[in-house]
Structure 1
């Protein structure tokens, strides 16, 4: 569904650009190349305004005392440019055309990975992360979570089904869940229902573990479940998030790694992505969509995947020694 919506929006933008081009060529003396350039700039301007709007919406709700990190103006420019570029390529190329199901490597020395996308996305969002995983020869699978506007509780069975498939096809007893944004909450809902028996590590990128105020502007049951009620640190999580947190213990949280940006333009307050009991890694100057496309984040994720493999081997070795007495 998301791929069809993304293609429709892409065609709509092309249609607007074409109409503007025809108007310019008929109503102005500008040469055709300049008219074409003006049309391209118009589309880029409209798309840039969407990114500007995401930062504008989060500004009143940003964390203050919990986010002392400030950026220089050049860094702010890089933050915006990176997020704008990420939204452009994801919505115009990744999600419309680059959905995928699996990429398997027989010579992989790492645990297999299941990729879980966020709100309003599909597996195409992971196209650039997938390329990094391919270079590392890490087997990975992806799923599309629908209905798009359904409850996050409904995504847990989809993750369970996909996880069972990964285990059956790879012969591995444990895997790594890599989730972006809302996908991290769906992964936690999976752990609530099925535990950590087959999960060595859950890595979340920019997940609103305590909610995000931007969800109040969204559509769907899932937005209501991941909203943040109030401004900045004075607010509170939704009832759904509070109920989810009440089901978690130290074992579930200890396998979770939360990687997030202190300047996220969707998760606000940004400190919402910090989950007590998990391994939290805060970064500077990266936008929300850009997280999975950032080479530094990709390197960090691959390191965590290999650490998960090491931990599993260590635990297995310890169990064998204990059995031998």
Structure 2
């Protein structure tokens, strides 16, 4: 008997909402900041001192960014107290990751081809990568290199606009799932999501069900909401607030419509998602890390090794 070919997904057009993507916002912000620094230096200082003034004005971004990360962790009030030196190592690790992601990767790497394996490993599901609030596909660029080295096909998508309702992003995820299945011939994909991306994945599953999803892995996702969301802009920020009706309705649906096999990865020292220990889901395997900030979770070697292990086929793990 011959095997039946996997069903091909139906083609459908997606009406994309209007609005700037985060990459464009970040590039415009950086260029505006550089322009202001240049104008101020030219107006206030002359000659060689103008160049030094310009550099100092630009450098002011880094301590401001550091204070934002430190303030977020302080206000999050982790249940696991850290000694002074360990607390600052956590803050500096998050600062390093956030500077790279927001100043280098996300504004400028969206034009690069996403790393893919030369020879995909048999038995692995292709992976769809979903970013979080005010991020884009370049968030995953470095992790995709590790996925490719392990023979795992992956596709990252940029969800836009940046402050849309989470429900409005679902058609973009559905299109990406169908495209990835069609390109690889796989019946199912795995979804790996960071932060708000975990909620986008759950919203997709509420509408489309788990038939096309082999597993869901979320990293630093505010599954129960975060008190820091009140500082954010947009409809999606309101949907991430603590005890909001949207999250309540999502959880109620999942009580009778189970998710696919799900792993929740979180940090007890997340500076964005708080309270941290509550961010799990019924029936999910929950893996808790410490001394890692919200973005540092993605750069941590232990977290990356865990993700690669979860995405590897069972027969590979048994060898």
Range of TM-score over shorter length? 0.7 to 0.9
1: CA distance, partners of 2:212 / 2:317:
14
1:151 maps to 2:169:
no
Say if 2:269 and 2:292, in contact at 8 Å, map to a contact too. Answer: yes
Identify the match of residue 314 of structure 2 among 310, 315, 320.
Answer: 310
Deviation of the 1:144 alpha carbon = 1.2
Q: Distance in 2 between matches of 1:49 and 1:21?
A: 24
Q: Which residue in the other structure is 1:92 paired with?
A: 103
Q: Is the 8 A contact 1:212 1:226 kept in 2?
A: yes
Q: CA RMSD in A?
A: 2.6
Could you tell me how far apart the structure 1 residues matched to 2:43 and 2:305 are?
A: 47
CA separation in 2, counterparts of 1:300 and 1:23? 53
1:31 is displaced (CA, Å) by 5.8
Could you tell me whether the CA contact under 8 Å between 2:214 and 2:260 is conserved in 1?
A: no
Bigger drift between 9-18 and 161-170 goes to 9-18
Give, in angstroms, the shift of residue 313 of structure 1. Answer: 12
| Structure 2 stretches lacking a partner, 5+ long | 1-20
Matches within 5 A, 1:1-325: 1-19=21-39, 21-22=41-42, 25-26=45-46, 35=53, 38-56=56-74, 58-59=75-76, 62=77, 67=79, 69-99=80-110, 102-105=114-117, 107-109=119-121, 110-228=124-242, 237-249=243-255, 252-253=258-259, 255-306=261-312, 309-310=313-314
CA 1:304/1:90 → structure 2, altered by over 3 Å: closer, same or farther? Answer: same
SS in 2 for 1:191: helix
CA distance in 2 between partners of 1:156 and 1:292 (Å): 23
The alignment's TM-score, normalised by the length of structure 2, stands at: 0.84
TM-score by length of 1: 0.82
**Residue 183 of structure 1: how far off its partner (Å):** 0.5
Number of residue pairs the alignment of both structures matches: 295
What is the rounded CA distance, in whole Å, between the counterparts of 1:23 and 1:43 in structure 2? 20
Determine if contact 1:200/1:312 at 8 Å carries over to the other structure: no
**Residues of 2 paired with 1:124 and 1:168: CA distance?**
23
**By how many angstroms is 1:49 displaced?**
2.8
Q: Report deviation, 1:255.
A: 0.8
CA distance in 2 between partners of 1:101 and 1:248 (Å): 36
Cα distance change, pair 311–248 in 1 and its aligned pair in 2 (3 A): farther
* In 2: Cα distance, 1:26 partner to 1:180 partner: 46
Instruction: Write 1 or 2 for the structure with the bigger share of helix.
Output: 1
Secondary structure of the residue aligned to 1:150 is coil
In 2, distance between residues paired with 1:20 and 1:79? 34
Verify the 8 A CA contact 1:254 1:277 in the aligned structure 2: no
